[in-house]
Structure 1
Amino acid sequence: MDIGVPYRDLGAIDVSGLTALVEELDDAAWNRNTFRQEALAAKNHEASRAIVYWHEWDIQANSLGFPYMEQLVARWARAKGLPIASYMPVEAIVTDMGRVYAFPDWLGVRDVMMPVIEQVVDRLGCGRAVVTRLALVSLSPKVKITPHVDGQPMATKAHRIHIALTDSPKVVYRIGSRDFTMKRGHAYDFNNRRKHSVENRGDNDRINLFLDVYPNPAFSMHADVMSA
């Protein structure tokens, strides 16, 4: 969403439970599911690792023409020889901008994530909101995400929020011509409608929670998901 400025620091929020969860993640957890990198993310995000909990799906915007996320999951899993049912969405919400899907990992972190989501929505001052993307994203040392503008339809409607979960003073973000770093535990409303990039100049992984918050949708309702 174009918020009129490069970014807004929404202040410190309580991420103690989330930080504890992240500290328990090992390489196997980060590498178990490569669906985002291989099927969802734009090419310039392939350098990052992610654990995806929620993601929207736009019938018109996807290049494959699939009406449902479940079809993409099945195609990806089948091509990799993976058990389709283990990766299929477990929940879905229908909005005026399309469906939003929860993935299996969500079930194990819901109790930790919900207090964080509620704090962010409160800081944004939304009357109602739907989280359309939610993921933990790790950026390795000496890696750069090249400049880009997020082009998916929801990018014009949703706040892109980054929450820094690691001390990363050598991770430099650029939006337009402005460079900045993030403070651990702070939530940032990130203008992803301006050209932006990030570079990890440090020696440790940078881990952020990012969530897209669609404020006051015209409608939203829970829907059934397809089985494998």
Structure 2
Amino acid sequence: MRLPQAVVPLFSWPLDAILAALPGEEDPLWELWSRRQERFPAHRSTRTIRFIWLESLEPGVAPAIERVDDASPELQAAVLACGEAIAGHHGGRVARLMLTEMAPDTAIPRHVDAGDLLTHTHRCHLAVVTNPRVRFEVGDESFHFAAGQVYEFDNLRRHAVVNMGDSRRVHLICNVLPAERSLPEPAIDIII
């Protein structure tokens, strides 16, 4: 979504509950779903755990919002609470909610998000695990997202991420559909 500036800090969020339930780097949960990485080459250096997933926004088509219950109940509760807080901040509805992990010494190349879902939602990040050598490049500016801080960024500007540190980077990513574009509540969430 187009913003007046590249990155907007929104609010702080306590990380204890997410960190206590966060799967380790070797946990197979990180490997269960790889479609994002296969479909979008820019994200090949990441691994994803999905919690809420709306594939796309299509006029006249009822939304099929998936609630994915692969993670432990503790991790689900912690992540969903943060997602709801972000949605509440924007007065909208969570359309996508996921944890993404980047290994050390990797990068997401410069790209611009496309498709109605990504261009018409607030794209927000909560840095869960980071290190000083993780940089988020948006337009011609460079940012370090501090752990425990929720940020919204303008994903219609060219952006990239580099992790030149010795440890992984994990972010919670939440796409919020604004109230003025909000979809009707689906009759049933699809639970996988």
TM over 0.5: yes
Post-superposition offset of 1:59: 7.2
Which of 42, 45, 50 lines up with 2:43 in the alignment? 45
Matching of residue 221 in structure 1 with residue 185 in structure 2: yes
Superposed displacement of residue 224, structure 1:
4.1
Partner of 1:56: 54
For the pair 1:148 / 2:92, whether they are aligned, the reply is no
Tell me: CA distance 1:105–1:178, structure 2 relative to 1, closer, same or farther (3 Å).
Answer: same
| Shift of residue 23, structure 1, vs aligned partner | 5.2
Is 1:2 the counterpart of 2:2? The answer is yes
Deviation, 1:33, is 3.1
Query: What is the letter of the counterpart of residue 159 of structure 1?
Result: H
Q: Which residue in the other structure is 2:172 paired with?
A: 209
Provide Cα deviations, 1:66-111, integer angstroms capped at 9, x if missing partner: xx9xxxxxxxxxxxxxxxxxxxxxxxxx4xxx43222232683432
Do the aligned partners of 2:93 and 2:182 also contact (CA within 8 Å) in 1?
A: no
Which residue in the other structure is 2:101 paired with? 138
> Following the alignment from structure 1 to structure 2, what is the Cα–Cα distance between the partners of residues 25 and 100?
28
Q: Which residue of 2 aligns with 1:175?
A: 138
- What are structure 2's unaligned runs of at least 5 residues? none
CA distance in 2, matches of 1:226, 1:100: 6
**CA spacing shift, 1:122–1:58, aligned 2, 3 Å:** closer
Q: 1:145 to 1:25 in 2, by over 3 A?
A: closer
CA spacing shift, 1:218–1:134, aligned 2, 3 Å: closer
CA distance in 1, matches of 2:33, 2:106: 20
For the aligned residue pairs, the C-alpha RMSD in angstroms reads: 2.6
1:186-201 residue pairs with structure 2 within 5 A? 186-201=149-164
- Shift, 1:121, TM fit: 2.8
Letter in structure 1 aligned against 2:53: H
Matched-pair identity in %: 24
- Contact between 2:104 and 2:165, CA under 8 Å: does it hold in 1? yes
Question: In the comparison of the two structures, how many residue pairs are matched?
Answer: 189
TM-score of the two chains, using structure 1 as the length reference:
0.73
Distance 2:23 2:56 in 1: 33
Q: Which residue of 2 aligns with 1:91?
A: none
After TM superposition, the score normalised by the length of structure 2 is 0.86
